[in-house]
Amino acid sequence: MVAGAKLRLDKWLWHARFFKTRSLAAAQVAGGAVRINGTPTQKRASNVGPGDVLTFSQGDHVRVIRIEAIGQRRGPAPEAQALYTDLSPPQPKPKDRQPENPGFEGKGRPTKRDRRQLDLSKARHLE
């Protein structure tokens, strides 16, 4: 695109593949969860361009992104990753997180007795 060009915020977030649909990106912006250069915005049509810094939450961590280019389309992932530089620090893996299946350590198929104990532990955990 032309140097100094601008694009709608929701459209850029969608082009850069931070959100699966443009309406999800627009809802995130309208909810006030996106900051442009440190200023909160609720306008989906806010114009952003190269050099702007976006701050928003995605999943369980906060993303800090500097826009490097404006895309013309929502292309493949390598093309989308060329549109920005990720300034957010890497998220450490939580060490206190339990494994997906705590009663079953990958030793083959659980026995009927193991399965009953696993179901009971899940039921107690939900209470």
Rg for the chain, CA atoms, rounded: 21
The three-state (H, E, C) secondary structure of 30-45, written as one string: HCCCEEECCEEECCCC
pLDDT over 90 (residue 29): yes
Q: Which residues pair with 58 in a beta bridge?
A: 61
pTM, full prediction: 0.70
pLDDT over 80 (residue 127): no
Give the pLDDT confidence of 89-99 residue by residue, as tens digits: 887 777 776 66
Separation CA 51–CA 69 (nearest Å): 8
